[in-house]
Amino acid sequence: MIPFYIETYGCQMNVSDSEVVASLLAGSGYVPCSRWEEARILLINTCSIRENAEKRVMNRLDHFARLKKKNPQLRVGVLGCMATRLKEQLLEHPAVDWVVGPDSYRHLPAMMGSPASAPLQTQLSLTETYADITPYRGREQTVTSFVTIMRGCDNLCAYCIVPYVRGRERSRDPQSIQAEVEALQKDGFKEVTLLGQNVNSYRWKAGEETVSFAGLLERIALAVPNLRIRFTTSHPKDMQDDVLHVMANHHNICKQIHLPVQSGSNAVLAKMNRKYTRETYLDRIRSIRTILPGCGISTDLIAGFCAETEEDHRLTLELMKEVRFDQAFMFQYSQRPNTLAARHYPDDVPEEEKTRRLSEIIALQNRLSLESNRADVGKTMEVLVEGTSKRSEEDLFGRTDTGKVCVFPKGTNRVGDLVHVRITSCTAATLKGDIV
């Protein structure tokens, strides 16, 4: 049995894909190990979303090349989005033996087993969903889990490389999704996050019947009453009230929505090809607040997209204040090769200007997150215990229904318990409290 180790970069979708790869290999004579030092095969699952993400992976490959000099038996494979984007170029790197894109993982065991097989497989597929593969979940992961419900993306946001590296959008059949979450519940898991680049366009046709995302969500909520359910990512142009009503009707669906806005300016949103306006975004927020009072709302923001003016930037800050996001992931625009923006618009906001705008966005969001957390002080919230706090062995951490991280003294509780915590204090990033 040959030991392998997978290092994962990028989004939750990659975490989920690495589990599919581990499962494919574990069924073919390879054995997963939890430390890379013990592995004969190193696989690196990569992300192309921003230039920085790619740089980190290239540095890691340089490190692997040095390891290979000391240990010539070592083999290295590059998986994920960079595999599709860079193809042969990656094979030229001294560390790299195999390059395998997100839709080609079924080829991996054969490639690894035979020196005669081609070392590069990056064809994208219109149909691959790995629906029949039960992901391998390591022993460290026993409470929360991801389940991929669809792959690829058809939206063509101007800045985004995802449609080019992960291919066309396709949904996974609801039966196999349900079977997978039922198995998770049986194995003692307590929470599942359903994953897709744009979950609201989930669609499965079975004869006369079409299953929408709202339909799938309801079906899953009923099938696994003992699992908490989250999902990501929602797209503002497609998120309708039907999903919100399903969330309101099922206590096991967490009251948290990730709704990336990217910008508060209509001119920038149009250029980004997001297909909604500031006004329609705010309308979606109003629906969430009306149908799901107290729902956690998070977002993604990009600073310094092509031709973004100071006024556009100000509109983003204004929108943030109006919505009062609980959390946000904030980025500086990074031009990606071959995207609509790279082909049509100059990357013309100077680097220091992008950095300044991003730091203003981050400073404002820190204030909003702190205010949102302060509003929770005094409340008692349901928290799923996920592990021991990084700061102290005496404390546990978990997440509230609304998606906030919460830290509290251990007492007699264990990982996987659902506890009630009275919030006593907070920072911008964390709630602190005591179990009641």
Q: Is 241 exposed, middle or buried (0-12, 13-18, 19+ CB in 10 A)?
A: middle
According to CB under 6 A, which residues from 226 to 245 bind ligand SF4?
235
Q: Which is nearer to ligand 5AD, 164 or 189 (CB)?
A: 164
Report in angstroms how near the CB of residue 43 gets to ligand 5AD at its nearest: 23
Verify binding: residue 177, ligand 5AD, rule CB under 6 A: no
Q: Which is nearer to ligand SF4, 32 or 163 (CB)?
A: 163
**Residue entry with tokens 């009503």:** 245
Taken as a whole, the chain contains a residue count of: 436
Which one of residues 18, 198, 369, 402 is an interface residue with ligand SF4 (CB under 6 A)?
A: 198
Report in angstroms how near the CB of residue 291 gets to ligand SF4 at its nearest: 23
| Tokens encoding 279 | 């006004």
Verify binding: residue 79, ligand SF4, rule CB under 6 A: no
Which one of residues 197, 200, 201, 402 is an interface residue with ligand SF4 (CB under 6 A)?
A: 197
Report in angstroms how near the CB of residue 49 gets to ligand 5AD at its nearest: 5
Q: Which is nearer to ligand SF4, 48 or 373 (CB)?
A: 48
Of the candidate spans 89-97, 109-117, 263-271, 331-339, the one that interacts with ligand 5AD by CB under 6 A turns out to be 331-339
Verify binding: residue 331, ligand 5AD, rule CB under 6 A: yes
Report in angstroms how near the CB of residue 226 gets to ligand SF4 at its nearest: 31
Of the candidate spans 311-319, 329-337, 343-351, 373-381, the one that interacts with ligand 5AD by CB under 6 A turns out to be 329-337
Task: Please state, in angstroms and rounded to a whole number, the distance separating the CA atoms of residues 254 and 245.
Answer: 13
Q: How far apart are the first and last CA of the chain?
A: 48
Verify binding: residue 23, ligand SF4, rule CB under 6 A: no
Which one of residues 20, 39, 44, 49 is an interface residue with ligand 5AD (CB under 6 A)?
A: 49
User: How distant, in Å, are the alpha carbons of 254, 351, 434 from that of 415?
Assistant: 19, 44, 16
Verify binding: residue 111, ligand SF4, rule CB under 6 A: no
Q: Which is nearer to ligand 5AD, 136 or 345 (CB)?
A: 345
Task: Please state, in angstroms and rounded to a whole number, the distance separating the CA atoms of residues 215 and 178.
Answer: 12
Task: Please state, in angstroms and rounded to a whole number, the distance separating the CA atoms of residues 84 and 102.
Answer: 8
Q: Which DSSP category does 256 fall into? A: E
- Residues 6+ positions from 105 with CB-CB distance below 8 Å: 17, 20, 21, 24, 79, 130
Which one of residues 78, 157, 303, 341 is an interface residue with ligand SF4 (CB under 6 A)?
A: 157
Q: Which is nearer to ligand 5AD, 98 or 333 (CB)?
A: 333
**Residue entry with tokens 């042969």:** 88
Q: What angle do CA 158, 162, 165 make, to 5 degrees?
A: 125
CA-only gyration radius of the chain, Å: 22
Q: If residue 424 lies in a helix (H) or strand (E), which one and from where to where?
A: strand 418-426
Task: Please state, in angstroms and rounded to a whole number, the distance separating the CA atoms of residues 39 and 265.
Answer: 49
Interface with ligand 5AD by CB under 6 A: which residues?
Answer: 49-50, 159-160, 260, 262, 300, 302, 331, 333-334, 336
Interface with ligand SF4 by CB under 6 A: which residues?
Answer: 153, 155, 157, 160, 162-163, 197-198, 235
